[in-house]
Amino acid sequence: MPVSSPLPAGSSARQVRHRAARVEDWFHDFRERWARRRGHVPTVVPYTGYGSTEWVRVFCRVLLSKPVADSDSKRRRRRREQGIRGWRSFTSVPVGDVPVTIEVAGQRIEVLADRGGVVDTKIPVQLEPGWTEATLRADGSETVTAPIWVVGPDVDFGIISDIDDTVMVTALPRPFVAAWNTFVLDEHARNPTPGMAVLYERLVRAHPGAPVIYLSTGAWNVAPTLNRFLSRNLYPVGPILLTDWGPTHDRLFRSGRAHKIENLRRLAEEFPGIRWLLIGDDGQHDEELYASFAVAHPDQVAAIAIRELSAGEAVLAGGRTKAEQHGADVPWVSATDGARIADQLHAIGLL
């Protein structure tokens, strides 16, 4: 996903876009006009960001939604602040090319949301390690805050984790995973992978200050639900790097693999002193992607941990890959649950 850029003077220039993207833009413009006539207003949905003591990466999405009246209950207002839920997050109208004002530690910048209403921008700022907040506001919206994890300069270990079938048991054919998780289940009905939350908690205790970054091919629409799932099941808090479904300016379908490859490369550049523990499963492309990353950045990979799917899960996921074919000269561990993975990580000195 392209990074949002500072707001230019005058109107923004549009790229020559794929026909499917132009059709999607026309549809969004039509829905935006219709929603505004019904009194819907811009709403900024904040996402967890990350950064160093010299910069931060801030995420949010701008949608049109019904205004929250002063008379509405605290519960409804809190739910709005947490993000538009479930299927409504997909039917809500994104507001593209809208200015969003971001303020962090006295630094203020104005950026344009992309055509899907998503802001992903990097801001230079001086901060102390630990949690901080950015304030976000679009024209006509309420001000919201986005949490940001600031990684200290002495931190040399971090975790990058997949989500589906790694921290949460999906057990569905891959073509149906996103639709089922989004439109049918909520965070109360999703099952955590046995032992993984305890494993992650042990890792962050063993490596104080280590960032935990969840990297998934899911859509930004489900970020609030995924955050609630992770919190409810006691996973460490961390940014979730997602993508935006649908056509891009130059292709019919967005590439989930490219999204993961780009963010892995970017994290390697942003934190050259961190060695990452890469955690995924053997039901998709995690082994292949992690192996390629380890070959390109051998000094930045502490180990690769693969959760082995059961026979039934592997069939639903479309088969399993072969760990022995990875070819990367870094430690590999694999097991069916977090407890067994923890034992193997302990054996190689990471726990």
Please give the DSSP secondary-structure letter assigned to residue 318: T
pLDDT at 261: 95
Is the pLDDT reported for residue 201 higher than 90?
Answer: yes
pLDDT at 240: 97
Quickly state the pLDDT bin for 119 (edges 50, 70, 90): very high
Kindly tell me the sign of the dihedral angle through the C-alpha atoms of 289, 295, 297, 303.
positive
pLDDT digits (tens, 9 = 90+) for 139-161: 889 999 999 999 999 999 999 99
pLDDT at 316: 43
- Picking from 332, 333, 349, the residue whose alpha carbon sits closest to that of residue 341 is 333
Side-chain-facing half-sphere of 315: CA atoms under 13 Å: 2
Local structure of 298: helix, strand or coil? helix
Quickly state the pLDDT bin for 317 (edges 50, 70, 90): very low
Quickly state the pLDDT bin for 319 (edges 50, 70, 90): very low
pLDDT at 127: 97
What is the overall mean pLDDT for the chain? 80
Is the pLDDT reported for residue 350 higher than 50?
Answer: yes
pLDDT digits (tens, 9 = 90+) for 216-242: 988 888 888 889 899 999 999 999 999
Phi (first) and psi of residue 95, to 5 degrees: -110, 105
pLDDT at 329: 83
Quickly state the pLDDT bin for 252 (edges 50, 70, 90): very low
Listed in sequence order, the DSSP H helices in the chain are 19-37, 74-82, 88-91, 174-183, 196-206, 223-232, 256-270, 286-296, 311-317, 338-347
C-alpha distances out from residue 129 to 50, 100, 326, 345, Å: 11, 25, 35, 27
| Maximal CA-CA distance, the chain | 62
Q: Which pair of tokens denotes residue 297?
A: 């950045």
Stretch 12-18: mean pLDDT, rounded? 49
Is the pLDDT reported for residue 291 higher than 80?
Answer: yes
Give the highest mean pLDDT range of 114-128, 187-201, 312-326: 114-128
Reading phi first (left if > 0) and then psi (alpha if -120 to 50, else beta), residue 122 is in beta
State if pTM tops 0.75. Answer: yes
Domains of the chain: 19-31+38-148 (2.60.40.10), 157-347 (3.40.50.1000)
Is the pLDDT reported for residue 41 higher than 90?
Answer: no
- Picking from 130, 128, 98, the residue whose alpha carbon sits closest to that of residue 116 is 98
pLDDT at 211: 98
pLDDT at 121: 96
C-alpha distances out from residue 232 to 149, 211, 342, Å: 19, 19, 21
* Percent of residues, the chain, with pLDDT higher than 90: 52
